[in-house]
Amino acid sequence: MSHATVLDAAPPQAPVLAPGLDAGAIEEQVLAAPLWGATRPRGGWWLLFLLFGSGALLLATTVTITVLKGIGMWGNNIPVAWAYAIINFVWWIGIGHAGTFISAFLLLLNQRWRASVNRIAEAMTIFALVNAGLFPVLHLGRPWFAYWLLPYPTRMTLWPQYKSALPWDLAAISTYFTVSLLFWYLGMVPDLATARDRAPTLLKRRVYGVLALGWRGAASHWHRYRVVYLLLAGLAAPLVVSVHSVVSLDFAITQLPGWHSTIFPPYFVIGALYSGFAMVLILLIPVRHTYRLQGVITERHLEALGTILLVMGWLMAYSYVTESFIGWYSGNVFERYALLVERPTGPYAVVFWVMLACNCVTPQLFWSRRLRRSEPVLFGASLLILVGMWLERFTIIVTSLNRDFLPSSWHLYVPTWVDWSILAGSVGLFGTLFLLFLRYVPLAAVSELKELAHELHGAPHEAQAEEARRA
Amino acid sequence: MPALFPPRTTPLARAMAFGLGLLVIALPVGLMWWVRQPPVTGQGRTAAQPVAAFSHRLHTRFRIDCRFCHAGAERAADAGLPATTMCVPCHEPVWLSGREFAAVRQSLRTARPIAWNRVNRVPDYVFFNHAIHVNKGVGCETCHGRVDRMDLAHQAAPLTMGWCLDCHQDPAKQLRPVSAVTEMGYRPARPQAELGPELARAYHVRPLTDCTTCHR
Amino acid sequence: MSGAHPQEDGHRPRGPEFPPGADQPPEGMSRRAFLELMGAALALAGASGCFRQPREKILPYVVQPELTPGVPRYYATAMELDGYATGLLVESHDGRPTKVEGNPDHPASIGAAGLWAQASVLGLYDPMRPRSLRRNGRRAAWGMLAQALAPAALAARAGARGAGLHLLLEPTGSPLTAALLARLRARFPDARVHWDAGGNAGGVYHGTALAFGRPLQPHYDFAAADVVVVLDADPFGAEPNALRWAREAASRRDPEARTGMSRVWVAEPTPTPTGMYADHRLRVRAGDVGALAMDLLAALVALGTSVTAARELAAALRARAAAGGDAPWNPAWVRGAAADLHAAAGRGIVIAGTHQPGDVQAAAHLLNHLLGNTGRTVWYTEPVLPEVADAARAAATAGAPTPPGAATLAQAIEAGAVDTLMILGGNPALTAPAELGLPRALARVRQVVQLAAYRDETTAAVGAGGDHWFVPAAHYLERWGDGRAWDGTPALVQPLVQPLHGGHDAAELVALLAGERSTVHELLRAEWRGRAGAAGFDGWWDAALRRGVCGTAAPRVAPPAARLETVAGMLDRLRPAPGGALEAVLRPDAKVHDGRFANNAWLQEMPAPLTTLSWDQAALVSPATARRLGLVSGDVVRLDVSGAAGGRALEVPVLVTPGQADDCLALPLGYGRRGEDERLARGVGVDGYALRTAATAASGIVPGVGLARTGAHRDLVLTQHHWSLLDRAEEIVPSAAEAGAQHATPPAPRRQLTIFQPVQPQGADQWAMTIDLARCTGCSACVVACQAENNVPVVGREEVGKGREMHWLRIDRYTRDGSDAADAADAAGSLDDPDFALQPMLCQHCEKAPCEYVCPVAATMHSADGLNEMIYNRCVGTRFCSNNCPYKVRRFNWFDYNGEVAATEALAKNPDVTVRGRGVMEKCTFCVQRIREHQIARELGQAPPPVLTACQQACPTEAIRFGSLTDPASPVHGGRESPRAFSALAELGTAPRVRYLAQRRNPSPLMRPAPGGAA
C-alpha cells in the first residue's frame, strides 16, 4: 500500500528517505547523539545551551519577582487587564499544535514521511505546552489559589463557575498535555529499547532500560503498541482542534469589540497550526545540519512544510478579511471602530501592519519550489511567521482592550522590562528543554524509519534489522 | 550479554506502577479529608487565658445568663466581653485574697484592660452579626456548644464556610424560641421538623445565601 | 465580630463626648499603645484567611461606658474654612472618627459635605503631622510657652499696653475668638491683629462697601431665581456657601421641577462647577469681566431699566450700548442676558466672584438693585466677619484693593514695631506677595510663636534663631470651638478625639495672652452661657451639641442707598484689555485649596474636576491659544511677570483645556509646597503665589504675563485622556433630545430580540440608582466620599499614570462633537467652545452583568436584591471580569496597596468594609455594608432611616438618588421613567440598575441654540 502512496505521489519530488540508507545507518545516525554524545560541533551545543539556559534563568528570576511583588510589575492596567502573559500563553499553545497534528493526523492519513520529523515535532509540542501552562497560573492576581479553578468539594461548598471559559480552558490544556506526553513517550519506547541494547556503558543501558519499560520487541509488544498508538492518535487528533477552540472562547464569549466574534475557534486553530509548522521548520533545519540527517529529513519534508505554510498563510489572510468584514457588516459603531479604525490607524497600527506583512506576505515566497527547498529562506520565513503570530495575539488582546466602549476609560498599554524578560525567558526555557532532548533522546522514530527504509529499499536489510533488534 | 535487571525487578516495577496510580487518587482525597479535621479548622481548640482559673461551667451553674456578661450579643455585631468592673460586685467577698484574681486586681489598679485571647475567630472578611442571630432564635449553644460544660471556652464548631452555609441554606432545622436562645442542652418541645418551620415563619427567617450577607 | 476592627480598646472612658482612649496625656505610653493596638488590629484586616489564624486579643473595657462596642456613633461638629463654618456629622467607630457627613440641620450643609470636609478624616490621621511643640527647633513643653507668654512677661517686653504684640489670624466667624480678642485688647490696647488668608475673604465686603458705603454680607436665593447671571464667580463650587447655593440652584435645573427651569448665564475665564450649569457659557478673561458687567449694565439701560437720580450716567450708558462693538466677546450673550434679566426683574440674580475687584462686585450689586432683585432674590445682613469687613471698608474708601494682612504685618516689622508675633493661622511665608519680603522680615522678629498644622514654609522662614516657637495645631476633629455659617448661623465645634499629637488651637493661645489659663472647653461654655443665659444652660448645651447648630441666621438689613454715582468712575476704569496680551488667573485650587490640603493623599490623587489631572498641576490654556503659541499639553513654559518687584518667573507645564478663555492661563495655587513636614506635597507642581504682587494678590488676576517655551516636556498624569464622544453620544450619554427620541421608539421589539428570559426579581428589596445629569456639577465630592467610605486605597502618581487609579466612582467628562481631541494633540478646533457632558460612572449593577458569567470562581455574583456582588476573598484575580465590563468600572489591586499604610492612617479605615489585599478585583458595591446594616436593623424591629450611599449623601445637588424599586416612596423613582431617563450602553442588553437622566439645557430664544443639550 504505502509503497504507492509514498513514491508515486509525485515523481519529481525528492525522496522521503535518502536512497541506500539502511536500518543500521539510520540507527547510527539517529542514536548517535544520545548514545555516543556525538553532537559534532560540541562547542555550538554548549554555546546555545548557555544562551537559552541563561534565558531560562531570567524567566525564573522574573517569575519570582512577579509572584513576590504582584503583577503590578507588568505594564497591565485597566482597561488593558490582559497583555503579555496571555499573548505568550496563546502563542505557545498555538506552537504546540503542530506536533500532535503531524503525529496524529498524518499518521491517520498515512503520510509516511512524517516518521522522520514527528519525534522532534512532538517534543516541541511538549516543551511549548510546558511554557503555555506556566502563564495562566502566573497571570493570576493570587496564583496560590489557582487550584480554585479545579472542580473538587471544598470546605466552602463552592464549585467553579462553569459558564466561564477558564475552567474549561484548564481542562482542555491539561488533557492535551497528558495525551501529548503519553503519545510522545509511547512512540519512543521501541527506540529507547534499541538505545538500551546499543548503549555503550552500563549506566546508559540501565537508564534506557528503565525508560524502555521492558520492551523486548516481541510480536505481542508490537501488536499492542500499534493498537495503543493508533488509539492515542485517534484521541489526540480531535484535541488538536478542541484545545485552541476552547482557548479562543476565552475571548469569543465576551462582548468586547474585536473579541466578540464567532469565527474565533477555526481562526485560532489555523493560526495555531501556522505558528506550529513554522516552529517545526525552525527546529528541523539546524538539527538536520548538525546531526547530518539530510538523509532522514530530506528536502521532501522541507518542501511539504513550505507548502503547508503557503496554504496556512492564505487561510490566515482569509480569517483577517472575514473578521474585518463582519466588523463592518455588523453596522455596530463599536465593532466598526475597533476593527476598521483602531486596528489599522490606532496607536498600535504598526503592530497590525507588521503582523499582516509577516503572516500574509511572507508565505507567498513559497509559490516557488526553489524557495520551498531553500533552507535559509524557510528558516527566515518561519521566524517572521512566528513573530507575526505573536503580534497577531497582541493585536487581538491589547488593541481590542485599550479602546473599548467608553472613551473615558481608554488608556494605552506599555510593557515593562519584566514583561519583555518573561517573553525572552520563555523562549530560553523552550530552547533549553529542546537542547536536552536532542542530547538524551532518540530524535527521530528509529523503528518507523526502519520500516520505511524496509518499504522503500526492499527486503535485503530485513535480516540485518531483525538481528539488530534481537541483539 | 547479561540481563540488565534481575528477575525480581519485574514485580517491583509492577508495584511501583500500581503505587503511582494509587497516589494520584489518594493524595488529593487525603488532602480534602485533612483540611476538614480539627487540627486545621481549630475545632476543639482552646486558648490559655490571663485569668487561668476562670470557669464558664461555674458561672453558668449560678444561673448567670450569657447576656449578663456578653451584653452585646443582643444588640450589636460583637457579643463583647464584660468590663473588669463587672466582676467586682459578685467577687467582692473573696476580693483581695486569691492568686487567680491577680490579673483582675492588676486591671483595676492600672486601669488597663485584661487581654483575653480570642477563641472563636472568623476571618476578617467575614462580617458576623450576633444580634440578628440571637434575635431570630439561633441559640448560643448552636455555635458555641455546651459552654456550661467548659471551664475555659473552646471552639465548639469548625467555623468553616460550609458549616455556616449548612444552616444558612436551611435555617429552620436550627431555630429555637427566642426565649430559649441562651438555654444550654435545649430540647425542642415538639419535633424540630414541625417547630422549626413555624418559628421560621414567626421570625421571618429565610435562607440567606447572598455572598454579601457575610462578605462585604 | 467583624474582624476588620478591633474589639474594644481599653481606656478610661468619660462619656460619649470623650471617646475611650482619648483622655490620655499626649506623650503618654497608653496613647501610643492605643494607636499601636488599633494599627495592629487593622493590619490584620488586610490578611486574607489562611490555615494558621493569627492569635487575636480581645480587650474589654475596665469600666463599661455608655456605648455598645462595634456600634458606630455620630457626633455633630463643624469645619471652618475661609472664615465660614459648615456643619457636619462625623461617624465614630469605637472612638475613631472614620467618616464625615453633612449636617442636615446646618444651613451651609443641609446634609451635604464637600471635598475638603470628606477628606479631612485622612488629614486627622496624617502620619506626617508634627508631634511636638518646639522652641528653636528643640522639643519644648506647653508650660514653658505658657510662662513665656504670661501677660506679665509680655508687658515687660511688649510694653504695658502691648504695643509690640502682633497677632496674625485667619479670618474667622468664631464668637469665642472674637470675645477673647476683645478681652486681649482690653488687657493690651495697643496689640495689633492682622487678618490674612490664602484666599480673599475680604473681597466680598469690598464690593458691598463700594456699592453701599458700608460692608454687608450678600445673600442669594437661587431656588427663587429664574435668571442667574454669573460674572466669574463660582457660587456652586468654590464659594464658602456653595453647598447650599448649589442645592438651591439644582432644584431649578431639573426640567421636571414645578417652578420651571432657571436660565443660567455664566461668563468665566476657566471652567468651574458653576460653568457646568450654564445654558450659555461665555469664555472671557477675568480682567475683562468688569467691562462685560458695564456692557451688561448699558444693555439693560438700553432696554429701559431706569437708572433713577443719575440722568447723565444713563446717557453715558446708552451711548456705550449704542457704540457697543469693540468688546472681544459675543455681544449676543450680553444682549441675551440683559433681556432675560430685564424680563425677570425681581426674579433674577447677578453675582460677581468675591475675588473680582471691588468695582466689579459693586457693579453686580448695583445691577441687582436696579433690577429690583434686592430684597427678593438678593438680600443683605451685617458681615459675618466684622473685623475683616472693617479692613475692607478702609480699603474701599481709600480706593485700593484690600491689602492682605501679611502686607500690614510686613510694614509693622519694617518699622521695628513688632516684638512678639503670634502667627495663629495661615502660612504667610507661602501666600504673601513676594515683594513684601515677609520671609526675611519674619526671621528678624525677636519672638515668634507659630501655630500650624505642619512645619511649613513659614516655620522655615521664622527659623530657629532668637526665641521662636512652633506649636502643632489641633485638627478640627480634635478641638472645641465655634464658628458661623455664611448666613451667620453659629455652630459648635466639638472634638471626636483628644489631640493625637498634643495639638493646640488659636483660642487657647489668645486666651493665654489675655491671661486666662482655663481650657478651651471651659472658655467656650462660659462664652455661650453668657449668650444663651445661665438658666437651663446644661440642657441648652447638650441640645446645641446634638443639633450642631446653636442659634439662628443673622437678621436681614435694609441696604443703604446704592451709590450709582460710582458707576461713572467704573465706566472709565473697566475696559477690556488689548487682545493678545496674556493674562494669568491665580486662584486657590479645587483640590488643595490655598495649599493647606496639599498633604492629603485623597485630594492629591483625586482627578481634578474636568481636567482629571491627578498628583499634578498645570497652567490651563484654551485650544485656540495653544494653537497660536504652538503648545501641546505637557509642554513646559516659562511664565514671567515684569513690573513690580522686578519680575519673577515660573516654569510650569501647560494643559490644553476646552472651555478655557483665550489668551488666559489658569494656574491653580497651593502647589509647589516646600514644607518640612508635608513630604507628600513636595515636588507636586510649582508655587503659583510667586507670580502675585501686592496689587494682584486679592484678585489673583495678573495681566501682561510673558510666556516662553522651554522645550521641556512633562507627561501630565490624567485619568481621562479623551474629550470626544466620537459618534457614540447616543449610546453613552445622549442629550435630553436624543434620550427622548430613544423613548419614542418602543423598546418592545428590541426586547424580543434577546434569547434570555427577563430577570425575575426575588427578594424584598431591589436596589437601584438614578443619576440626574442635569444636576451634576462635577464637583467630585462623591469621589472622595466613596474613597472614605469604602477604604479605597491611594496608589500614587506613577500608578495613576499607568492607568491604575482605584476610584470606584469617576466623573467622566466629554465634549459633544465628532472629532477626537486626544488624537489631535488635544487641540481640535471644535473644542474651543465646547458643550460639556458630565457622567458619574460607577458599577452599573447590571441585571445581566457581563462580569458575572466570565468569572471562573464565582467571585462576582448577583444577589437576590439586585446587587452585583464582588467577593474579594474568593477572587483569584483573572481580571476576566474587567475585560468584559463595557463600563470599565472594575479596579484591580496590582500591588498590595494597603500593605504599607501607616498605623495612624489605618485608623481612618472603615471597619465595616474589607480592606482589600493584593491581587483581587474591586468595584462599587452600592455601599452594601450600609444596605445590610439597614436590613439587619429593620429585621431587629428598629426603624432605620433609608439607606444612603456615600456618594448620594455627599452630593450637594442631590443628583444621585438611591433606593429600592419595590419601595414606592423611594426617591430612586424620581424621573426614572421620564423621557430623559436612559441607560448607558443600553443596546448591549446589560440592563443596568443605574439609570441616568439626560442633561437638559434651557437656551435663550435670542441665542442660536446651544449645541447638543438644546431641546
**Mean pLDDT across the stretch A287-307?**
83
Nearest beta carbon to residue C856 from set A80, A142, A149: A149
Q: Which chains touch B (3 or more CB pairs under 8 A)?
A: A, C
Does position A300 have pLDDT exceeding 80, yes or no? yes
Strands ordered across the beta sheet of C348-352 = C280-283, C263-268, C227-231, C348-352
Q: What are phi and psi of B187, to 5 degrees?
A: -120, 125
Distance from CA of B161 to the nearest CA of A (A): 5
Question: Which residue in B1, B4, B161 is closest to A156 by CB distance?
Answer: B161
**Per-residue pLDDT at A112:** 72
Element (H, E) at C92: strand C84-93
User: Collapsing DSSP states into helix, strand and coil, what is residue B136?
Assistant: coil
Contact C890 A78 (CB under 8 A): yes
Condensed to tens digits (0 to 9), the pLDDT of residues C649-694 reads 899 999 999 999 999 999 999 999 999 999 999 989 999 998 888 8
Burial B115-139 (b: 16+ CB within 10 A, else e): ebebbbbbbbbbbbbbbbbbbbbbb
Sign of CA dihedral C868, C872, C877, C878: negative
CA dist C556 and C559 (Å) reads 9
Which of A157, A209, A471 lies nearest to residue B165, judging by beta carbons?
Answer: A157
Q: Residue A322's pLDDT is what?
A: 94
Positions of chain C with pLDDT lower than 70, given as ranges:
1-54, 198-199, 307-311, 324-326, 643-647, 743-761, 817-830, 1008-1015
CA distance C264 to chain B (A): 43
> Dihedral angle at the C-alpha atoms of B22, B27, B29, B34, nearest 10 degrees?
140
- In this prediction, residues B145-150 reach a mean pLDDT of 94
pLDDT tens per residue, range A5-25? 343 344 445 666 666 666 677
pLDDT, residue B99, reads 81
Point out the residue among C810, C875, C882 whose CB comes nearest to the CB of A81: C882
Q: Determine, for residues B32 and A153 on separate chains, whether the beta-carbon distance falls below 8 Å.
A: yes
% of chain A exceeding 90 in pLDDT: 59
**Each residue's pLDDT tens digit, A319-367:** 999 999 999 999 999 999 999 999 999 999 999 999 999 999 999 999 9
Instruction: Enumerate the residues of chain B whose CB falls inside 8 A of the CB of residue A209.
Output: 4-5
What values do phi and psi take at C929, rounded to 5? -60, -35
Q: Which DSSP letter does residue C182 get?
A: H
Out of A153, A158, A205, name the one closest to residue B4 (CB).
A205
Say which of A155, A196, A206 has its CB closest to residue B160: A155
Question: What pLDDT was estimated at residue C646?
Answer: 56
Q: What is the 3-state secondary structure (H, E, C) of chain A?
A: CHHHHHHCCCCCCCCCCCCCCCHHHHHHHHHHHHHHCCCCCHHHHHHHHHHHHHHHHHHHHHHHHHHHHCHHHCCCCCCCCCCHHHHHHHHHHHHHHHHHHHHHHHHHCCCHHHHHHHHHHHHHHHHHHHHHHHHHHHCCCCHHHHHHHCCCCCCCCCCCCCCCHHHHHHHHHHHHHHHHHHHHHHHHHHHHHHHHHHCCCHHHHHHHHHHCCCCCCCHHHHHHHHHHHHHHHHHHHHHHHHHHHHHHHHHHCCCCCCCCCCCHHHHHHHHHHHHHHHHHHHHHHHHHHHCCCCCCCCHHHHHHHHHHHHHHHHHHHHHHHHHHHHHHHCCCHHHHHHHHHHHHHCCCHHHHHHHHHHHHHHHHHHHCHHHHHCHHHHHHHHHHHHHHHHHHHHHHHHHHHCCCCCHHHCCCCCCCHHHHHHHHHHHHHHHHHHHHHHHHCCCCCHHHHHHHHHHHHCCCHHHHHHHHHHC
DSSP-assigned letters across all residues of C804-842: ----SSEEEEEESSSS-TTTTTT--GGGSS--EEEEEE-
Q: Which of B4, B5, B162 sits opposite A155 (nearest CB)?
A: B162
pLDDT tens-digit readout, B36-71: 999 999 999 998 999 888 999 999 998 899 999 999
pLDDT at B192: 93
**Chain C hits for A337, Cβ within 8 Å:** 726
Q: What backbone phi and psi angles, to 5 degrees, belong to B184?
A: -100, 140
Contacts 24+ apart (CB under 8 A), C134-138: C134/C469, C134/C470, C135/C467, C135/C468, C135/C469, C135/C470, C136/C464, C136/C465, C136/C466, C136/C467, C136/C468, C137/C464
Q: Do A214 and B162 touch (CB under 8 A)?
A: no
Instruction: Determine which of A38-42, A198-202, C304-308 has the lowest per-residue pLDDT on average.
Output: A38-42
Of C951, C962, C588, C593, nearest to C784 by C-alpha is C951
Residue A463's contacts (CB-CB under 8 Å, 6 or more residues apart) are none
What distance in Å separates the CA atoms of residue C250 and residue C724, rounded to the nearest whole number? 26
pLDDT attached to residue B1: 53
Residue A152 has its nearest CB partner, among B13, B28, B165, at B28
Contacts 24+ apart (CB under 8 A), A174-179: A175/A239, A175/A243, A176/A96, A176/A100, A176/A129, A176/A239, A176/A243, A177/A126, A177/A129, A177/A133, A179/A100, A179/A232, A179/A235, A179/A236, A179/A239
Least confident stretch, A194-208, A404-418, C717-731: A194-208
Within 8 A of A471 by CB-CB distance, chain B residues are 1
Closest Cα of chain B to A19: distance in Å? Answer: 33
Mean pLDDT, range A66-94, rounded to an integer:
95
Q: Pick from C88, C971, C880, C825: which is nearest to C494 by CA?
A: C88
- Partner-chain contact C913 B216, CB within 8 Å: yes
Indicate if the pLDDT at residue A201 is higher than 60: yes
Q: What is the pLDDT of residues B65-74, one digit of tens each?
A: 999 999 999 9
Q: Does B180 touch chain A (CB under 8 A)?
A: no
Give the Cα separation of C36 and B77 in Å (integer).
Answer: 24
* C682 has a chain A CB within 8 A of its CB: no
Query: Is B35 within 8 Å of A153 when comparing Cβ atoms?
Result: no
Cβ neighbours of A79 in C, within 8 Å: 803, 882-883, 888
Count of CB atoms situated within 10 Å of the CB of C935? 18
- Whole-number Å distance between alpha carbons of C718 and C803: 9
Q: How many of the other CB atoms lie within 10 Å of CB of C247? A: 21
Closest Cβ–Cβ partner in C722, C878, C880 for A407:
C722
At a CB cut-off of 8 Å and minimum separation 6, what does A301 contact?
Answer: A16, A113, A116, A117, A284
Q: Which of C725, C726, C893 sits opposite A141 (nearest CB)?
A: C893
Question: C890 touching A, CB under 8 A?
Answer: yes
Asked if residue C20 has a cis previous peptide bond (ω within 30° of 0), the answer is: no
Mutate: best of B161, B212, B215, partner C, most C CBs <10 A: B212
Whether B165 has its CB under 8 Å from any CB of chain A: the answer is yes
pLDDT score for A63: 96
Asked whether the beta carbons of residue C70 and residue B78 sit closer than 8 angstroms, the reply is yes
Helices and strands of chain C, counted as H and E runs: 34, 37
pLDDT number for residue C816: 83
Q: Find out whether C24 and C31 touch, Cβ atoms under 8 Å.
A: yes
Q: CA A137, CA A128: separation in Å to the nearest integer?
A: 15
Residue of B nearest to A209 (CA): B4
Q: Which chain A residues are Cβ-neighbours of B28 within 8 angstroms?
A: 152
State whether C1 and B131 contact (CB < 8 Å).
no
Report the SS3 class of residue C21: coil
Q: Does A1 touch chain B (CB under 8 A)?
A: no
Interface A–B counts its CB contacts (< 8 A) at 26
How many CB atoms are closer than 10 A to CB C673?
A: 24
Distance CA A76, CA A84 (A): 8
**Under 8 Å between Cβ of A184 and A126:** yes
Taking contacts as CB-CB distances below 8 angstroms, the residues of chain A near C888 are 78-79, 404-406, 409
- A401 reaches C (C-beta below 8 A): yes
The whole-angstrom distance between residue A103's C-alpha and the CA centroid of its chain comes to 12
- The Cα C376–Cα C378 span in angstroms is 5
Chain A residues touching B13 at Cβ < 8 A: 214
Other CB atoms within a 10 A radius of the CB of residue C587 amount to 26
Longest dimension (CA), chain A: 77
CA distances from residue A112 to A231, A450, C744 in whole angstroms, order as listed: 18, 12, 68
- Taking CA atoms, B23 is separated from A230, B16, B26, in Å, by 28, 10, 5
Measured over the CA atoms of residue C455, residue C460, residue C461 and residue C467, the dihedral's sign is positive
C-alpha cell at A226: 500499534
- Alpha carbon distance A333, A31 (integer Å): 61
Taking the Cβ of residue C850 and every Cβ of chain A, the question of whether any pair is shorter than 8 Å is answered with yes
Q: Are C87 and C100 in contact (CB under 8 A)?
A: no
Q: Which residue of C has its CA nearest to A406?
A: C887
Q: How far apart are CA C744 and CA A388, in angstroms?
A: 49
Provide the number of CB pairs (under 8 Å) joining chain A to chain C: 165
Chain C contacts of A259, Cβ < 8 Å?
883
ipTM confidence score: 0.91
Interface test mutation site (partner C, options A66, A408, A412, max chain C beta carbons within 10 A): A408
- CB pairs B-C closer than 8 Å: 165
What is the model's pLDDT at position A445? 76
Please report residues of B whose CB lies closer than 8 A to that of A152: 28, 32
Residues B127, C929: C-beta atoms closer than 8 Å: yes
Phi-psi region of C115 (alpha: psi -120 to 50; beta: other; left: phi over 0): alpha
**Band (B10; pLDDT cuts 50, 70, 90):** confident
C128 Ramachandran zone, left/alpha/beta (phi>0; psi -120 to 50): alpha
Which chains have at least 3 CB atom pairs separated by less than 8 Å from chain C? Answer: A, B
B108 with C871: Cβ contact below 8 A: no
**What pLDDT does residue A205 have?**
86
C237 and C272 in contact (C-beta within 8 Å)?
Answer: yes
- C-alpha distance across the termini of chain A, in Å: 30
> Are C195 and C387 contacting, i.e. CB atoms less than 8 angstroms apart?
yes
pLDDT confidence of residue C912: 94
Q: Is A209 on the interface with B (CB under 8 A)?
A: yes
Predicted local distance difference test score (pLDDT) of residue B94: 61
* Chain B: closest CA distance from residue C623 (Å): 45
Tell me the nearest-neighbour CA distance from C946 into chain B, angstroms: 19
